[in-house]
A and B are shown apart, each in its own frame.
Chain A
């Protein structure tokens, strides 16, 4: 099984630690994984802003970079959802279609494809879990509070394998943090207010770390935590699953 590692642009540039943890975790689990160096971005920043017609270049690069892999794995629910819903290529239509079906967000790749039942991980801290909307409501990584349906959580299942971790309960377990791509600057006031409220829910329940499957939500909440002078840190799910502290 050959796995292509897709690292979203802002993770590549600002959060290499999350990417390294993803790579090391997959290697630790015996996966033959490599990182195609010509990849850039999934194109979502343009598409969600109404400029899907400008994503041709990104789609082409993405398709060329990942067409030969059996699976594509990324530490991001949002970017994976974008590829699943919107990747198109006129030159390589079949390849694009195949990529849409074989791309996985990291936690669901671990639970559904590798069917991981245990992990050599230890993280003795109080952790709040942020449900990133695109992963949760788009990729069904966990049950949604709006629906009348049995509960489940793929990231939660993995975190339960981590020794010493203390997951804190939240008042609003799946409310959006307000990042929303270009929404975070176009609607600055509401975006920040949503972020402050989300952070406060974690802080008031004693979280020492806030984790999630999307670094973009975490980057937004980190910006607010730092501005408030808080010592609480954000950490990608992969970094917890890959750590032994």
Chain B
């Protein structure tokens, strides 16, 4: 991607050059938000479920090391092999070493945002390992050589005609045929062959249960199971925050996850993995990659409660009109904007500003992360760390001086209204981003302060 040097505003500006496409993207995601609303309104206890999930996750974050060690011990008793990775590089190397040790050069992978975060595919391909993504949406963006634009709906930015063209090029479908049934059947046949022939399979982890040492992977396509059941070695990558204390807590999270994500009552497949079958191996890689650093940031630690449902993206009026790629990060949208600056504050300094702070994200969040409050707080941290543009710093300083003095405020207010009245060209030009697509307010004869002095 050639997006590395552009910030969110510039990438969003590009996306908005095709307004019909923006409308289509907005309406598609709004439709999912509406499905979510219908589903959650069928549960009278919805808000209680959110409170409960939030409390469970708060407990997890306060006792993380205890639960992780409990999980490790139980999983090892079950015959699962546990690895610990401090960062993305270590995670990727563990995967590569496991494959090399078995002489495996091809792997099938179900959806895992953690491996996107670690850029695992790129790393393995550079080491001559072929990776095929088996989630349909992920396979589509993989064929398009693009990153996913959404954590639950990776190719939501692609129209079916574009997918038809990709399948024609890569999977040999008829040119111009974009019938969803036809394309899906083609993908199904293509992936069947992959599942049958791959000896290694990698999955993500939605929930790891400390009490039992088992883990749960949620998919709608059954692709995690197809890969894991047929392979000799199943590698599961999990962030440290995926742990939950007890199996009974699944009843809370499974009810919340898919209702929030797509409006379904539950994922089609919620697969429990507890021990390897004879002569097979299960490896779980527990990854930190900045999470313990985020845990140490008092204002931002509860972002680690996230269960990756994507509801904040579907509801976000900015995300719907700027597209996932405008966030130039594996995890886009509001949650991405509060997670990314922890990993690289300079590179992602723009993201917390890509919001109107409307607060809808915090309201849909099934684990009650105060997303919009954290966006506000990240703005302060980013400026304090010196990542604000110089022009903005100067403007803010001037604004602060003016607004701190009633005399300067009244004089400059009057001057501003005079300019608008008698020299509108000084304001209404292409250098004023307000004026580009909006008229300036008509300047009144007098301010309220002036009126009040005369009339009261």
Query: Which residues of A pack against B, CB within 8 Å?
Result: 7, 9, 11-17, 19-20, 23, 34-35, 37-41, 43, 45-58, 60-61, 133-134, 137-138, 144-149, 172, 174-176, 178-181, 183-195, 197, 219-220, 222-224, 226-227
Contact = CB atoms under 8 A, between A and B. Distances in A.
A9 B447 CA distance: 10
A48 B376 contact: yes
A185 B433 contact: yes
Given A12-B448, A51-B396, A222-B441, A187 B12 contact: yes
A40 B447 contact: no
A9 B354 CA distance: 24
Given A148-B47, A190-B321, A223-B439, A178 B356 contact: yes
B311 to A, nearest CB: 9
B413 A12 contact: yes
Interface stretch (B53-61, B66-74, B146-154, B359-367): B359-367
Contact of B388 (A41, A50, A56, A187): A50
Interface bin, chain B: 35 or more
A169 to B, nearest CB: 15
26 contacts: A9-B409, A9-B413, A12-B447, A16-B444, A16-B448, A19-B448, A38-B406, A41-B409, A43-B403, A50-B352, A50-B383, A54-B396, A54-B400, A57-B401, A176-B358, A180-B356, A184-B434, A185-B434, A188-B13, A188-B434, A189-B13, A194-B317, A195-B438, A197-B26, A197-B321, A223-B434
Interface in B1-33: 8-9, 12-13, 15-16, 19, 22, 26, 30
Given A49-B353, A53-B384, 8 more contacts: A37-B453, A45-B399, A48-B357, A53-B383, A137-B358, A137-B360, A183-B353, A188-B436
Q: Specify which of A16, A55, A181 lies most central, judged by the most chain B CB atoms within 10 Å of its CB.
A: A16
B318 A40 contact: no
Contact of A188 (B9, B41, B446): B9
Given A50-B380, A137-B363, A187-B12, A180 B355 contact: yes
Contacts of B357: 48, 133-134, 180
A172 to B, nearest CB: 7
